[in-house]
Structure 1
């Protein structure tokens, strides 16, 4: 279950460092039940239609946080982007598809994106496949939904592993990694999933080549608001 971004596969492998608040005792080979949970977790996002997300993007200048919603059937995300520990030059509204990013700069960015995006004031640019931690994070978050489950039997064979258990926002979760892979440059990346007992995805932590620290994507951090495309956005249907 490697998450591909413009031909570069973000490798799915285990982080061996212990996370704060978790109690990893692995990695261990997945049981059949654990493999089934991992196999359906992206499909659960698609079944839900959309999820509320918070994406923490590391950056040498202090990082960015995107708070909003992703429509996993329409393949489009929308929310507020704010700088953390940096100036506010990147603050504003943001919407993205698999190929384009739309930004709407704002001097006084609201805590939540308005349900109906502004009709003007948007700037469009291509989503960058390489070199941008933000764009890599947006692309990864968008790809965490799939219209079908993975093949559960192949996941353990390809290196997927169970790492441990944790409690996350009141949910008992299993922490797992997906099949091992390498990026085109040969540098191992990583994706770690926090998954509930029904296969619901609650957190994903991803290593990207353009950042020294992993991207963290948390789900259900606020109420999901259906995504309305901005003028010029053409989400897949």
Structure 2
């Protein structure tokens, strides 16, 4: 009987040991499950964030409404007389940023140009047409170009239509206004397509791939327009053959100021 009690006692003593073993394993199982759930949640969150981000997606054909908006977007710039614009021009030394206005009736641009990175040699005022670039060098240019351009200190040169990223950008932005709408029937045949959606300065836009704003100036291929629901142009991105990075034109970054021509300066031939 004593040996039976001993076996019974041993058996009772063994049960807590097995139970304790199970208690030690369960926390590990719960920890593994928590990690799996956490990873799954993180992956789901990442998918939602990536899936909801604005920007270019797979191209598709334009709807009739999108074709009509793309067809009138340059004409609306002309109707507005002019637009405030910021032009970002990349280059190996850092790039240039031009902040100013474009008069789409006279096809004249005017503003402040500043270099970024190592490129500050072009800082100053700039005015241009389809044939001529006028530059007024300044070591400390103002935040905005004076409404009346200075009467002296300008240098004139011809606008180059190829081989120079800055001049190509200047020509392209002048071409973003037209005195008549584009032919909506021909736009789909020229490769126009819807490529995504995005916001520009708080404006919801459709991103559309369109024909070159100026085939001679861009000499590349891809021009993308960020267009609002009423056809207003808010951003344009254009590829240029002389530069691997695109030039970007952001509209309404500041108030449009009517462009006054530089007096007493003879344009370059």
The TM-score bracket by the shorter chain reads 0.7 to 0.9
Q: 2:138 aligns with which of 102, 106, 109?
A: 106
User: Does the Cα contact within 8 Å between 2:83 and 2:101 map onto a contact in 1?
Assistant: yes
- In angstroms, what is the RMSD of aligned CA positions? 2.1
Structure with greater proportional strand content? 1
Q: When the two structures are aligned, how many residues end up with a matched partner?
A: 213
Q: Is residue 163 of structure 1 aligned with residue 191 of structure 2?
A: no
Structure 2 distance, partners of 1:102, 1:180, is 25
**TM-score, reference length from structure 1:** 0.85
Q: 1:45 aligns with which of 77, 86, 101?
A: 77
Q: Could you say which residue in structure 1 is the equivalent of 2:65?
A: 33
Deviation per CA, 1:63-109, whole angstroms, max 9, x where unpaired? 00000000000110000000011242110000000000000001211
Q: 2:208 aligns with which of 176, 189, 205?
A: 176
In structure 1, list runs of 5 or more residues that go unmatched. Answer: 1-17
Residue 45 of structure 1 aligns to a residue whose secondary structure is helix
Structure 1 distance, partners of 2:54, 2:86, is 20
Residue 159 of structure 1 deviates from its aligned partner by 1.6
Residue 86 of structure 2 aligns to a residue whose secondary structure is strand
Deviation per CA, 1:179-217, whole angstroms, max 9, x where unpaired? 489x78xx8521000000110000000000111100000
Q: 1:125 aligns with which of 148, 154, 157?
A: 157
Q: Is residue 82 of structure 1 aligned with residue 114 of structure 2?
A: yes
Q: Is residue 207 of structure 1 aligned with residue 239 of structure 2?
A: yes
User: Does the Cα contact within 8 Å between 2:70 and 2:231 map onto a contact in 1?
Assistant: yes
* Range with greater deviation from structure 2 (220-229 or 162-171): 162-171
Structure 2 distance, partners of 1:101, 1:23, is 34
The ranges of structure 1 where at least 4 consecutive aligned residues each deviate by more than 2 angstroms after the TM superposition are 21-26, 231-235
* Range with greater deviation from structure 2 (152-161 or 193-202): 152-161
In structure 2, list runs of 5 or more residues that go unmatched. Answer: 1-49
Residue 231 of structure 1 deviates from its aligned partner by 2.3
Distance 1:136 1:204, change over 3 A: same
Q: Could you say which residue in structure 1 is the equivalent of 2:170?
A: 138
Q: Which structure is richer in relative contact order (CA contacts within 8 A, separation 6 or more)?
A: 1
User: Does the Cα contact within 8 Å between 1:159 and 1:180 map onto a contact in 2?
Assistant: no
* Range with greater deviation from structure 2 (172-181 or 199-208): 172-181
**TM-score, reference length from structure 2:** 0.75
